[in-house]
Amino acid sequence: MGKGNRPGRQEAPRKARRRFGWGVGAAVGVVVVAVVGYFAYRAVADLPGTFVPSQGNAHVQLATDPHPPYNSDPPTSGPHLPYLAPWGIHTKPIPKELQIHNLEDGGVMVQYSCECPELVGKMASIVKRYDHGVILAPYPGMKSKIALTAWTRIDTFDEFDEARIVRFIKAYRGIDHHKG
């Protein structure tokens, strides 16, 4: 056998090419994962409002039934009644335990804490654009003038901002959360 016919010599270039191919494949895989991760992070980071950890979706039979306190005000998840408040415009506050079932069903609450008919009129004109999935209601005693809530999301502010309200509604309306 001559030098060129040794079994190991022809194997070496093949092994090197194979290792190079695996290395390139691994590098491409890392880049793909990084790009997907970046865009997934951006999608979550650009969501309106603030995330509030879920308190689950257990039912209570009455609004007065004992349950753990909510972790946000207005609430964004947790124990709630087994029926919905009608979608649309309300002139009386909606019990927290009722609001949450609407949020679980993909609803958005637009609430206010002020004697402010002009502001209420502006917000009502937005809520009227939706035949279901959005409620406008007073929420006395709230720290801010306006609160937007969806399942595990809240945004609070004091000055009317139509674009902010519409963006929140578009981001969360219609997303069902019956799995918790």
Residue 117 domain flag: yes
Local confidence band at 41 (pLDDT 50, 70, 90 cut-offs): very low
pLDDT band at 46 (very low <50, low <70, confident <90, very high): confident
User: pLDDT > 70: what percent of the chain?
Assistant: 79
Tens of pLDDT along 164-178?
999 999 999 999 887
Question: Residue 111: enclosing H or E segment and its boundaries?
Answer: strand 108-112
Whether 117 and 132 share a structural domain: yes
Q: Are 37 and 140 in contact (CB under 8 A)?
A: no
The overall average pLDDT reported for the chain is 87
Residues 74 and 7 in one domain: no
pTM above 0.95, yes or no: no
From 144, 149, 133, 146, select the one nearest 50 (Cα to Cα).
Answer: 149
pLDDT at 7: 57
Same domain for 132 and 89: yes
- Tell me: do 77 and 14 sit in the same domain: no
Q: How many domains does the chain have?
A: 2
What letter would DSSP give residue 173?
A: T
User: What pLDDT was estimated at residue 40?
Assistant: 44
Q: Which residue, chain included where needed, has tokens 């929420």?
A: 139
Residue 178: inside a domain: no
* Cβ burial 103-140 (10 Å sphere, 16+ → b, else e): bbbbbbbbbbbeeeeebbeebeebbeebeebbbbbbbe
- Domain limits at 121? 50-172
Q: Which two tokens stand for residue 148?
A: 């937007």
Q: What is the pLDDT of residues 69-115, one digit of tens each?
A: 999 999 999 999 999 999 999 999 999 999 999 999 999 999 999 99
